[in-house]
Structure 1
Amino acid sequence: MNKFRHSAAAVAGAAAVALLAVGCGGGSGEAGTEENPLELTITTFGTFGYDDLYGEYEDANPGIKIKANNIDRGANAQTDLFTKLAAGSGVSDVVALEEGWLGSVMEVSNEFVDLNEYGAADIKDNWVDWKFKQGTDADGRVIGYGTDIGPQGLCYNGKLFEAAGLPSDRESVAELFGGDDATWERYFELGQQYHDKTGLAWYDQSGFVWNSMVNQMDEGYYTKSGELNIEGNAAMKEQFLQLAAGTEAGLSANETKWDWGTGKAFTDGSFATFVCPGWMLGTIQEQLESAGGGADSGWDFADVFPGGASNWGGAFLAVSESSEHKEEAAKLAAWLTAPEQQVKQSAAANNFPSTIEAQQTLVEEAVPNPMFNDAPTGAILASRAEGVIAQFKGPDDSVIQENVFGAALVPLDAGKTDGEAAWNEAIKLLNDLVVKD
């Protein structure tokens, strides 16, 4: 394959090593002492909510010292892992892997330790079945323990809705979008009404909306058998042009992904809705706090999503084959992903757990989230998780998301192209970066 393809292979290798770091066996199996603790390294990304858990684990295991590294976002973490694998050094004992990397990881699954050697089979029923299967290769080897999943609900700004004459309470908003029958057609129709009334944008930029639409399809960028599924895919192109029409009509705020003016766009009324997988709630909170916003900023979270159930993202913990402390690393990975810890992680990071017991706890507690108008975000996400089925992710899935469609949508958001031209550009980038040797 071309040089980008070789990069993907390197990433896969890196991811593989990362997975090993969390769950492999091997090494001496000897723990350190309180006077001379064994150091375990771990690399995560984004908002994982592990800081307090590290201290808790160290307190319970005085012979262990955790050295943590957190990278700002998944794409950069993937690059970091690639680079270190290519160099043959520097990969942490435990590494967090994003769902979108799994296709690459599975291509080199023999680089990962089978966590079944460290009791994975004994705890597999902790997880929803599709999450556990995602971390299992074609030979039945478990190469990653699931952390969170990404069921999607709709974030919206109640103050902006009220100013536009729209209902703002969560139940009415869910009904406004169609409840269980919510569609993207209705989403864009309401967006046009909002734009006509206010002159303001409906969503921050097209890329995240497109990710959500693709993740909702039965088959995304790859078929279930692992074949590319883009060129000639009339249904996918139709969805793309539907989004493009909304963007061309002024519904996009043309924000830069992961920037939002250091959070200002969440406080100044730049857009009124935001597609929200569970982990994105933590991102929004960080952005609001960065911009000096808070519970009075107007953001809320509704139990509805255009097109129905959808999952975007979620992560795994893995143990690197290069780890000198595989057994202890596997123990740490298992502990961090256990139901009790997933409940605490959810509270710290606003994400949604992948273990059944942790999900049930969030439903039962229904803790109000002050940053989102006291919405019981955990309980809402549990509702949004119903009907979610994991989509197959191919080896270049994240490349296609970021460097193909992500890149093609940038000029569309900026008003420099139209939907048909943006689609054609995506196909060109696909052939340049992924298909051609």
Structure 2
Amino acid sequence: MGTARRRLGSTLAAVTSVAVSLVLVAGCSSGSDADKARTEDGKTVITMGLFGVMGIKETDLLDRYMKENPDIVVKADVAGDEQSYYTALQTHLTAGSGLKDIQGIEIGRAKELVDTRADAFADLSKDGDLTHFLPWKSSQVTTKDGKLLGLGTDIGPMAVCYRKDLFEQAGLPTDREEVAKLWAGDWSKYVDAGRDFKANSKDKKVAFMDSASGLFNAMIYGGDKQFYDKDGKLVYRDNPVVTDAWKLSVDAARSGLTARLRQFQPGWDPGLANGTFATAVCPAWMLAHISEKAGPANKGKWDVAKAPKGANWGGSFLGVMESSPVKKEAEKLVAWLTAPEQQAYIFEKLGNFPSSKKAIDTPEVSSGTSPYFSDAPIGQIFGDAAKEIPDEQILGRKDGSIKDTFSAGLQLVEQGKNPDEAWKTTDERIEKLTR
């Protein structure tokens, strides 16, 4: 989600605005005032900083927890844009103030925090039974000396979300199993299906896919490494997983198959509601966002089909700040929120796929369907995809920022820039941010 989980002019202005506003908040909540703010009407107050749709504030979980623990009050703030959220989090970490007791961590930021900010987080390695998590999930936020910075919430096995009505207008099959056969085993077949859609669609204003960057992300996260190798060396220039994804995404963009949008950026949400595009590569955590932004009018028009290849895009963690005056209470809350039962519950309500092996095996998950997405058996679809996720995904310090930079580079292509020039610009930006 990662989450949600996920998101350079207009965005920079938004990031700056959020960061500045949160710095102001930080200035008002440091020192002894922060300690005083941790109690309210005699109850202990736990604060949370979240992003996207992590399923914690969007469900009744916090209400349930407070009912079961009447001496606790939980206050959660949610930033819709993860990029802005992370910029603010970095500001607070540098200032040493303004941090929530619990902070969400997106997978693309995990390695950077492990390498540079591990001292700011409490060690959760001894918080109860952690064997229910997928082993590779916890390893993504574990330091070399065994410190665990967060507990896993969701993972991002991928599928393709598509509009049945728009497929029908273009003469393509609408049954999800037949749709999956169009591109089984090869992302280039997905692009070929897009060519057929474009040639036969009755509405020439409707694009086949939302963005070239969505396709790019789907392809790169099917490998065990993307931008870095195990030694922390940048390898994206020579990694065929990255170069092949760039080439196919550029092909889709230059063939007019995309709506020239970036997921979670301006224009994308209205595109979901107005049928601007017929497909979107969708990790499990994205279903909640699509159903919310596409709205009730489009319920039953969307469906979910198996992706060409298994991959994991996104996923999140909850970490507790070492400086929190209510650290023990916060650790207890994080352990409860990420327990199998709560992960299965979030999946039932929103579709965020569990990082808990135990939760994945429950009937609530394995037999789960989505009424919004035409009763698609999302538990089975995403469960099968999860089994295809590589046992190891090598993360690097600037993974999230590099992904965002590639997304911006592909948007340059969608806007008409020469692909070689767009690659050069992307490469220069990555070199600058990784110095």
TM superposition score category, shorter chain reference: 0.7 to 0.9
The one-character-per-residue Cα deviations of 1:163-194 (angstroms, maximum 9, x if unpaired) are 1111111111122222xxx2011111111111
User: Which residue matches 2:76?
Assistant: 68
* Preserved contact between residue 51 and residue 82 of structure 2 (Cα < 8 Å): yes
The one-character-per-residue Cα deviations of 1:373-407 (angstroms, maximum 9, x if unpaired) are 011212321111012124212111111111x2122
Instruction: Tell me by how many angstroms 1:363 deviates.
Output: 6.1
The one-character-per-residue Cα deviations of 1:300-340 (angstroms, maximum 9, x if unpaired) are 001x212x110001011110011001111100000000011
User: Which residue matches 2:93?
Assistant: 85
Aligned counterparts, 1:268-417, within 5 A: 268-289=274-295, 293-296=297-300, 298-302=301-305, 304-306=306-308, 308-362=309-363, 366-389=367-390, 390-402=392-404, 404-414=405-415, 416-417=416-417
* Preserved contact between residue 359 and residue 365 of structure 2 (Cα < 8 Å): no
* Preserved contact between residue 284 and residue 352 of structure 2 (Cα < 8 Å): yes
Residues 344 and 138 of structure 1, relative CA distance in 2, 3 Å threshold: same
Deviates more, 1:93-102 or 1:69-78: 69-78
Between the two proteins, the alignment pairs up a number of residues equal to: 397
* Preserved contact between residue 104 and residue 317 of structure 2 (Cα < 8 Å): yes
Residues 364 and 60 of structure 1, relative CA distance in 2, 3 Å threshold: closer
The one-character-per-residue Cα deviations of 1:43-80 (angstroms, maximum 9, x if unpaired) are 11111222311111111111111111111122121112
Counterpart code for 2:152: G
Deviates more, 1:350-359 or 1:231-240: 231-240
Root mean square deviation of aligned Cα: 2.5
Counterpart code for 1:401: K
Distance 1:363 1:63 in 2: 31
User: Which residue matches 2:256?
Assistant: 250
User: Which residue matches 1:4?
Assistant: none
Deviates more, 1:311-320 or 1:211-220: 211-220
* Preserved contact between residue 156 and residue 285 of structure 2 (Cα < 8 Å): yes
Distance 1:259 1:38 in 2: 37
4+ aligned runs moved over 4 Å, structure 1: 32-35, 362-365
The one-character-per-residue Cα deviations of 1:99-154 (angstroms, maximum 9, x if unpaired) are 000111111323322213xx33x412111111122222111122210000000011
TM-score by length of 2: 0.86
Instruction: Tell me by how many angstroms 1:264 deviates.
Output: 3.0
User: Which residue matches 2:189?
Assistant: 186
Consecutive unaligned residues of structure 2, counting only runs of 5 or more, are 1-18, 20-34
Distance 2:348 2:83 in 1: 24
TM-score by length of 1: 0.85
Distance 1:362 1:94 in 2: 30
Consecutive unaligned residues of structure 1, counting only runs of 5 or more, are 1-10, 12-27
Counterpart code for 1:159: D
User: Which residue matches 1:201?
Assistant: 207
Distance 1:322 1:33 in 2: 16
Counterpart code for 1:90: G
Bigger proportion of residues as helix: 1
Distance 1:362 1:422 in 2: 47
Q: Identity percentage over the alignment?
A: 35
* Preserved contact between residue 188 and residue 246 of structure 1 (Cα < 8 Å): yes
